[in-house]
Each structure stands twice: as C-alpha cells, then as structure tokens.
Amino acid sequence: MLQEFLFSKIHRATVTDANLNYIGSITLDETLMNAAKIKEWQKVDILDINNGERFQTYVIKGEPDSGCICLNGAAARKVQPGDKVIIVSYANLNPDELEGYKPTIVMVDEHNKIKL
C-alpha cells in the first residue's frame, strides 16, 4: 500500500510577485527547484504563513538564482508580494522505501537564497 509523505519543501520563501493575468501556476527560481528536487509541471502545495491560505498549483521554471517566487493566475489572489510561504511537494512511498527516508528541506533567507 502506498502512503503519501513529505518529499521536499522550500521553507519561508518570500513571494516576489503575484501576476493575476498569467495562466495559473507558481514560477520558481530554478536553483531552488533543483535544491528541493521539484520538477517543472509538478503539483505543489503553497502554504502562506502571513494569511493562512493553503492551495495547490503547479510549477513553472524561473530564472536560476533570480530568487523568483511568483504566484500566477487565480493563485495571485491568495498572496501578496512580501508574504512568507512554504512550498511543499509529496511522494507516494511503499513501506519498503520508508526505512531511513528523510525529506529534502531547503531553508532560504529573505532574498530566497539558500541558507548553508
């Protein structure tokens, strides 16, 4: 039996833009995507720390090292630039895959640069 587990998250990223006129999604800095093992077009949850909103969307690749965290389309109504968000991905794992399993956690600073 498969169960859903946290696969990765980008913790406390700062929303840099909200573009209502774009067709859905979140545009993410490619460097952050790679660090969090998130793929383009993958479904993610967005958890807004400032207002409590929780919603799903899919990822579009942004410029590497740009710090871009832009919510597009309808999702732009749920955030404001400057909001802190957690971007979460999940994986379906079977019991054999659980031993020693740890999700990938990417911590970022106020400019969405990876903290070492």
Catalytic center residues: 25, 58
Structure tokens at 107: 């911590």
Does 35 carry a binding-site annotation? no
What is the C-alpha to C-alpha distance for residues 46 and 79, in angstroms, rounded to an integer? 10
21: exposed, middle or buried (Cβ count in 10 Å: 0-12, 13-18, 19+): exposed
Does 104 carry a binding-site annotation? no
Under 8 Å between Cβ of 87 and 10 = yes
Question: Residue 89: what residue type?
Answer: S
Structure tokens at 12: 């406390």
Residue ranges of the binding site:
57, 73-75
Residue ranges of the binding site for substrate:
57, 73-75
